[in-house]
Amino acid sequence: MKITEIRLGMLRVPLKTPFKTALRTVDTVEDIVVEVHTDSGHVGYGEAAPTAVITGDTHGSIIEAIRRVIGPRLIGREVADLNRNVALVQSAMERNTSAKAAVEIALYDLFAQLYGAPLYRVLGGGGDPVVTTDITISVDYIDKMVADSLAAVERGFESLKIKVGKDIGVDIERVKAIHSAVDGRALLRLDANQGWTPKQAVRAVSTLEDAGVALELLEQPVHARDIEGLKYVTERVLTPVMADESVFGPAEVIDLIQRRAADIINIKLMKTGGISNAVRIADIAAVYGVECMIGCMIESSISVAAAVHLAIAKGGAITKVDLDGPSLCRFNPVDGGVEFNESEISVGDAPGLGIRGIRGLEAIPA
């Protein structure tokens, strides 16, 4: 099975409700889809989310990176030569992690198709192919956040990822109100998306802890580059602290763990540049006995499917799942693939990612 062509498309899927964090507001998935075609007729699929405020990737940069820099290295190469193909992707250019992720996902999809097995099996997973995700509660007026939280609990979600990081006084009230409304029916994960200073974060979490609000974790309270600030918070609160925007690749994870700057690592394929580095991070975390979450950007069920396969294969290290991208979408544009049913995500027996086609994909002309 040889790679013959790489095609790009634009996928647009409206969200059920706007996604609001301390960094941005988004109301539509607008992701670049990669199709890697082969001489056997098999097609591998990948997806890149343009998250300029986190990874620096935009539609234009993703298209240019794949079309001019990464893609040409792969034409004519054997799908079976996965490790070398992945090395070619990773060494093609600096950063551009979302573009690399999209291409890598398609290469892994094809590799698993070549051997006729679902991707999670090729990655060494053999257990029950089901994971349970949380759902994001966007930052908003308190009443709206409480209503959204109750609706999510009614839909069967048992973990809520509450977005905060705006005004700290209101943030504390937001979390208290949600905590009393859901009344023990859901675990609460707080994501401040870099919105607090280290001292504010300690104050906010200490206030909540003292008020009896049990939090499962606090995610990225401080600025991405402020590793010392992250460590300051981790040392001073009982609630586990998770690093998200602060860590992209394996080397940063090693540094973070050795400095004890966070308790948990949030792995996202759009930060790691795809599956190969995500596997490395899960393995590094396992060496140190550190837990990981698998998360996603505003992504549909193509790249999130890859994250699901990884989560199943690396379930020993990846103990928390935040893959709510598809359940935030108004419809699922993918035929076949992983089944997203609210909080329950399950994988079938189809080879690779199991994707048969993508509806509404707009070709991006060469």
**Residues tagged active-site:** 163, 268
Distance CA(282)–CA(303), nearest Å, equals 18
In the complex, least distance from residue 312 CB atom to Mg ion, rounded to whole angstroms: 21
Distance CA(272)–CA(357), nearest Å, equals 26
57 near Mg ion (CB under 5 A): no
244 near Mg ion (CB under 5 A): yes
104 near Mg ion (CB under 5 A): no
Q: Which residue has the tokens 């070549």?
A: 114
Q: What is the residue type of 187?
A: L
Reference 325, options 3, 31, 4, 43; nearest CA is: 31
Residue closer to Mg ion, measured from CB, 109 or 191: 191
In the complex, least distance from residue 265 CB atom to Mg ion, rounded to whole angstroms: 12
Q: How many residues bind Mg ion (CB under 5 A)?
A: 3
In the complex, least distance from residue 213 CB atom to Mg ion, rounded to whole angstroms: 20
191 near Mg ion (CB under 5 A): yes
**Main-chain dihedrals φ then ψ at residue 358, nearest 5 degrees:** -130, 120
Distance CA(249)–CA(229), nearest Å, equals 20
How far CA 305 is from CA of 9, 53, 106, in Å, comes to 18, 24, 11
Report residue 183 as tokens. Answer: 């009344």
Which residues have a Cβ under 8 Å from the Cβ of 19 and sit 6 or more positions away?
25, 26, 27, 136, 138, 298, 328
In the complex, least distance from residue 151 CB atom to Mg ion, rounded to whole angstroms: 21
Residue closer to Mg ion, measured from CB, 57 or 219: 219
Please, are residues 297 and 268 in contact by the beta-carbon 8 Å criterion?
A: yes
Alpha carbons within 13 angstroms on the beta-carbon side of residue 189 total 26
In the complex, least distance from residue 20 CB atom to Mg ion, rounded to whole angstroms: 13
Distance CA(275)–CA(270), nearest Å, equals 10
Q: Which stretch binds Mg ion (CB under 5 A): 12-20, 141-149, 244-252, 335-343?
A: 244-252
Q: Which stretch binds Mg ion (CB under 5 A): 33-41, 104-112, 135-143, 188-196?
A: 188-196
SS3 130: strand
Q: In 81-126, which ranges are E strands?
A: none
**Main-chain dihedrals φ then ψ at residue 268, nearest 5 degrees:** -130, 135
By the 10 Å C-beta count (0-12 exposed, 13-18 middle, 19+ buried), 108 is classed as buried
Distance CA(308)–CA(306), nearest Å, equals 5
Residue closer to Mg ion, measured from CB, 219 or 324: 219
Q: Which residue has the tokens 């998306």?
A: 193
In the complex, least distance from residue 268 CB atom to Mg ion, rounded to whole angstroms: 8
In the complex, least distance from residue 322 CB atom to Mg ion, rounded to whole angstroms: 8
Q: Which of residues 212-241 bind Mg ion (CB under 5 A)?
A: 219
148 near Mg ion (CB under 5 A): no
Distance CA(116)–CA(128), nearest Å, equals 19
Site residues (vs Mg ion, CB under 5 A)? 191, 219, 244
